[in-house]
Amino acid sequence: MIRSYYSDNALSVRFYDVVTSIDPSVRGDVDANFYANCLYSPAQHVLEIGCGTGRVAIILAAQGHFVIGIDNSEPMLELARMKCRKLSPDVLKNAQFLKYDMLKLDLPVRFHLIIAPYFTFNHLRTPGLRAQCLTIMAKHLLPGARAIIHAASPDELRKSRMARKHVFRFREPNGHLEVTWRSSKIDERERRLTQLVAYELFAADGSTVAASVERLTLWWFSDVELERSAQNAGLQYDGTLTCFGSEGANQRIYMLRKPP
């Protein structure tokens, strides 16, 4: 049985933070305070679209900002809430995690910053859906506020991928996780990457605790499409970065702003 990535009971949810920790695509987004540095005063309101397990939102909340994270995966949101329960009361009150479809979002709050990190937009299949999400983002921004979208570049998603495996070892409970990214399938007509990822969790004695094979699907889009759709949504296009820090990378970090 092949599951969808991030679906109920998927091991990609359970080990999201573990696997993300080795991904160079997000290097610098939180450890170099990229998103925090886009906030110009304390205690500002932030919306994170596609918040997952709260990797970004919790750090911003710990820095004193008020963060609402939305996702359509309830298991991932529950992990985010569990992590929050371990925080101090002052930080806990700053973070809220809600189940929402990013294409139907309608909150009574307006934000100083909206972020869509770590390829959230690459889960949207068509230009129309991406344009719809940009319109929703514009609606939820305060005048003069910024939106940031982190996407995978077309070149990155289209490149040939050989099968590879990474082993994660745990001190507690002395087991390990093997994650195998199998060879990918590229559909140029649909602008789609499909990749099967196998998860195998082993106990200390080598016996299998859990296993799953999951399908990850991402769609790519051009800078021109994103810029035009943002402008049609009433957002000013401020440029595109290729990395979060000083190191070169093949990322797309779109900087948008709602005019005053």
- How many domains does the structure of the chain reveal? 2
Say if residue 109 is in the same domain as residue 229: yes
Same structural domain for residues 185 and 214? yes
Task: Give every CB contact of residue 212 below 8 A, 6+ residues apart in sequence.
Answer: 3, 9, 10, 11, 12, 198, 199
The stretch 133-159 carries a mean pLDDT of: 96
Residue 21, domain member (yes or no): no
Question: Is residue 107 in a domain?
Answer: yes
* Percent of the chain's residues with pLDDT above 70: 99
For the chain, what is the mean pLDDT? 94
CA 183 to chain centre: 23
Q: What percent of the chain has pLDDT over 90?
A: 83
If asked whether residues 121 and 202 sit together in one domain, one would say no
The candidate with the shortest Cα–Cα distance to 256, out of 222, 231, 223, is: 231
Q: Looking at residues 126-145, what average pLDDT do you find?
A: 98
Predicted confidence at residue 247, as pLDDT, reads: 62
Q: What are residue 57's DSSP bridge partners?
A: none
At 79, phi and psi to the nearest 5? -65, -40
Cα distance between residue 183 and residue 203, in whole Å: 27
Condensed to tens digits (0 to 9), the pLDDT of residues 174-204 reads 899 999 999 899 999 999 999 999 999 999 9
Helix or strand run (H / E) with residue 74 = helix 74-84
pLDDT for the residue 248: 57
Whether residues 105 and 172 share a domain: the answer is no
Which pairing describes strands 176-181 and 164-169: parallel, antiparallel, or unpaired?
Answer: antiparallel
Query: What CATH number did the domain enclosing 232 receive?
Result: 3.40.50.150
Per the confidence metrics, is the pTM higher than 0.85? yes
**Residue numbers of the domain that contains 187:** 156-219
Are residue 71 and residue 145 in the same domain, yes or no? yes
pLDDT tens profile 28-49: 899 889 999 999 889 999 999 9
9 belongs to a structural domain: no
pLDDT for residue 125: 97
